[in-house]
Every structure is written in C-alpha cells, then in structure tokens.
Amino acid sequence: MEQEYFEQRLKKITELREKGINAFPKRFVKTFNVDEILANFKENTSVKVAGRLTAIREHGKSNFCDLKDQSGRIQLYIADNILPQEDLFVFKHIDIGDIIGVEGELFKTRREEPTIKVTRLFLLTKSLRPLPEKWHGLKDIETRYRQRYLDLIANVDSKKIFLMRSKIVASIRNFLDSKGYLEVETPMLHPMAGGAAGQPFKTYHNALNATLYMRIAPELYLKRLLVGGFEKIYELNRSFRNEGISVRHNPEFTMLEVYTAYVGLEETMQLTKDIIMNAAKTVSENLEFNFQERVINLNKWETVSFANIMKKNFDINPEENSSVWIEKLKKKGIKLESDKLSRTQILKIIEEQIDAELGNNPVFVVDMFTELCPLSKTKDDNRLLSDRFELFLGGMEVANAYSELNNPIEQRERLLQQSQGKEIDEDFVKALEHGMPPAGGLGIGVDRLTMILTNSPSIRDVVLFPQLKSE
C-alpha cells in the first residue's frame, strides 16, 4: 500500500513539472506563525503562513484544511472561485503530509473557528510517503524512537516533551548566567578517560597517531579552569559511557556541571535546589507534580546519611574490609556474583538497594563512604566519609556534588589507588600542584531531570534520537 502511495505522488510531481511548477521551491516568506495569528486574531487581516497539511475536508467546490507549523494548527478555507487557476491545479495535486504556503485573510466560521480564507496557495515540499495518521497515529514505541520525525508529526505529546526540554535547558542557562557563572566548553576527545567511573568509547586520531577516548565526564578539565582563575563556571555537556542501555541509561547523555570557587557543600546544596526548582517552574507553577505513579513535592527536601543507612540496614561500618561486608550481606539475603568483590563494587550494589527506600520527594544523601569519591574531600571529623551528596528525586539519582579535593598529594594517592597501578592523569595533578582554590562541584543529569519534570517513563522519551539496537 505504501509503495502505491509513493508511485501516485511521484506521478503528481511529474504532472506539476509538466506545467512548469516546482514541487520543491527554494523559499517562502512567512509573515506570522500560527500561534501569533491565534493570539492576536483580527478578522480581515492579511497573513502568509507555511506548514504541513494534516487534514482535508471536502465541501463541494470548497475545502476546509488543517495546516500545522511548529507553534500550532489553524484551519484553511480553500474555494474554487477564489484561487487562481494555477493554484487550483496545485491544490488538486497536493496530499496530506505536503508542506504548503498560503496567503489569505482571516475570518471566523459560523462555529467561531479561526480560519484563513486562502487567496494564494504554494506547494513548498511534496511528501512521497503518507503520514502515520493514515493508520490512526504512530503507536509503536520502537518506530517512534527510530523515526522520531514521524513521532513529532503524529504525536502532540511527544512534541510537547521536547519543547519543555528546551525550556528546561534554557532555564538552567539563564539562571546560572544571572548568577554570574560563565559557560565554558571543554574537549569531548580525551587522551585519557577520567573524571568519573565508567567504561569509555575508544577512538583513534590519525593525524596525532594517538588513541583517544570520548569523554565520560568533563570534571578534570573544568577544575583546570579553576586553577586558571575562573571562579564560577558551568558546562552543559554531552558525555558518553560504553555501558548498558535501560529506561534510565543512554550511552550518550547530557550533564550539567557547575563549579564554584570558595564555597562548601552547604552552598552547593542550595544551588542545586535553586536550579531544579527554577527549572520545574518553567514546566508548571505547581511544585507538586506526578512522576509515573509517584507524587513529588519540591517544597519538601530531606537529608539522610548513607553511613547511617548502611549501619541500620546491613550493620556495615566504613572501616571494615570487603570480606566482612560480604558475610553481612549474605546474612541479609543479598545475592552476590562473587566472594572476591572489592569494597567499591559492593558499595555500588548496595547503592541500588538503597535507592528504592528513599521515597519520592527530593532527598540529599550525605556521608558517602570515601572510597566511592576519589575526587572529593573527606569530612573533617571522619576521613572514612566524604564531603559529598547525591540527590535523589522520584527514587532516581539526578545530581551529585562534593567539596572538590584540591590537595595534589592526596589526589595523586587516591587516583593511584583507584587505577590499581595503571596510568593516571599526571597533567591534572600537575595543575593542582599550581594551586586550585577550595570549590564546590555539582553535576545534574539533564535527561533524568527532564524525565521527571515531563512525567516520562523512559530516558528514550526525552532524548530526540536515542541509541537502539539495529533492526
């Protein structure tokens, strides 16, 4: 059936060409978007608009059509006794899905429907394939992800999500700019993977004759900028992890990273609140909203201790070795793949257990074990705990922050311990040796935050072109 439509439309292009009509002209000058017309509607106003034809309703020698642009939908009135003959010929050769431009005057029908009485009609792009509406909309979730362009045409809700995402990102930028932060850009190609724990994508640079890695985090470069004298900086960055795909994970993702010199964890915690609440207000004035089957209230922020949860739930203390932890976890009925897991591997398993009990409202999890935080300062009263927090929202981690470790001697020791004897980023340590001011660093997962604020069940719903397995 689709091939039949394709051939019919190719034939129409040929017929138009024989009349000297180009089915793909270069330009059309609009005077208004649809939302501007509807917001300032005044009858008898002359307008020029363009968009996709999404419906045709025949009424004898006249037709009512729907035209959609990025901003909205408006009705067209097309009558045989109004259009010039050439334009009528064009109209007889257009189909639902074509992109058209029209000139005309505004009026309201007897049902008070805002409408354009079309006096000129131009075919701007002939579509060769029918729209999904031909089969009552685009419902298949896999097709929606693979052919996002059709999803955006057919599903109003999908389009709204990405419009909201754009507003969320803009609100983050505007807020930080208003607070005196400088937006910066750091490399996506790194000579060494670092700044976070994660499996990198590897590539090769021919001219440099060097192996490079897609960045897993921009952190070490942003800290170099603190050394260089910038005091308030941020980057809305794309990062990459060569790891699993799930409703919460995409191999490439958007992060916000913010660094503020001369502040501690308390100020960074307040900054996190301000950024998220400001972003939420761009979507809705109500700070209590639904995320799937949860109700989240951004007026209620809590703080809990990771160390206390570990003690209460598993009787685990930070000074104990991994074999003791494994025995205690087994007693609690938690299955482990191996009896030779490191403390860091065990902590990652436990973190997933803890996520589920943190509730729906925003929760700052503090007192993280130091070995989970190789780039963070430790607490003054307990070196086994880091001066760090993770923020959970709707049961999902959306932010991570800490007082940045700026002691180059301790930093080198921690990196060597983490790398287990492998090469470390010596240039980063050298930068710290020149002196980095005390600072608070913050990372917020933009994709996950957008999921929550738009009530989307999967990260694929808020990423325009998510990575998928081949068909």
**Cα 461 to Cα 448: distance, rounded to the nearest angstrom:** 10
**Cα 399 to Cα 265: distance, rounded to the nearest angstrom:** 13
Neighbours of 1 (CB within 10 A): 8
379 DSSP β-pair partners: 382
CB contact at 8 A, 34 and 41: no
Of residues 186 and 371, which shows the higher confidence score?
186
Question: To 10 degrees, the CA torsion angle through 352, 358, 361, 365?
Answer: -80
Give residue 347's pLDDT. Answer: 73
Give Cα 50 to chain centroid, integer Å: 29
Sequence-distant (6+) residues with CB within 8 A of 51 are 34, 67, 68, 69, 70, 99, 100
CB contact at 8 A, 401 and 441: yes
pLDDT above 70 as % of the chain: 97
Average pLDDT over residues 157-176: 96
Task: Quickly tell me which residue has 């803009």 as its tokens.
Answer: 170
Give residue 6's pLDDT. Answer: 93
Nearest to 97 by CA among 22, 2, 19: 2
Of residues 313 and 354, which shows the higher confidence score?
313
Q: At residue 24, does pLDDT exceed 80?
A: yes
Neighbours of 162 (CB within 10 A): 18
Of residues 283 and 336, which shows the higher confidence score?
283
Q: At residue 136, does pLDDT exceed 70?
A: no
**Cα 226 to Cα 259: distance, rounded to the nearest angstrom:** 8
C-alpha to C-alpha distances, 296 to 24, 85, 293, 397, nearest whole angstrom: 49, 59, 10, 14
Q: At residue 390, does pLDDT exceed 60?
A: yes
C-alpha to C-alpha distances, 369 to 230, 269, 321, nearest whole angstrom: 30, 18, 13
Residues 257-270: tens digit of each pLDDT = 999 999 999 999 99
| 149 dihedral zone (left: phi>0; alpha: psi -120 to 50; beta) | alpha
Give residue 138's pLDDT. Answer: 60
Provide the pairing of β-strand 62-69 with 72-79: antiparallel
DSSP 260-327: EET--HHHHHHHHHHHHHHHHHHH-S-SEEEETTEEEETT--EEEEHHHHHHHHH---TTS-HHHHHH
* Three-state SS at 29: coil
CB contact at 8 A, 69 and 49: yes
Average pLDDT over residues 44-55: 97
Give residue 133's pLDDT. Answer: 60
Domains, in order of start, for the chain: 2-130 (2.40.50.140), 153-301+361-461 (3.30.930.10)
Query: What are the two backbone dihedrals, phi and then psi, of residue 143, each rounded to the nearest 5 degrees?
Result: -65, -35
Provide the pairing of β-strand 99-108 with 114-125: antiparallel
Residues 320-363: tens digit of each pLDDT = 888 888 888 888 888 777 777 777 777 777 776 676 678 889 99
CB contact at 8 A, 437 and 406: yes
Give residue 391's pLDDT. Answer: 95
Average pLDDT over residues 151-162: 91
Q: Grade residue 365 by pLDDT with cuts at 50, 70 and 90.
A: very high
Q: Grade residue 135 by pLDDT with cuts at 50, 70 and 90.
A: very low
Q: At residue 48, does pLDDT exceed 70?
A: yes
DSSP 169-226: HHHHHHHHHHTT-EE----SEESS--SSS-PPPEEEETTTTEEEEE-S-SHHHHHHHH
Q: At residue 417, does pLDDT exceed 90?
A: no
Q: At residue 104, does pLDDT exceed 90?
A: yes
233 DSSP β-pair partners: 182, 259
Q: At residue 95, does pLDDT exceed 70?
A: yes
* Three-state SS at 254: strand
**Cα 259 to Cα 397: distance, rounded to the nearest angstrom:** 19
Average pLDDT over residues 400-420: 91
Which has the minimum average pLDDT: 144-153, 327-336, 390-399? 327-336
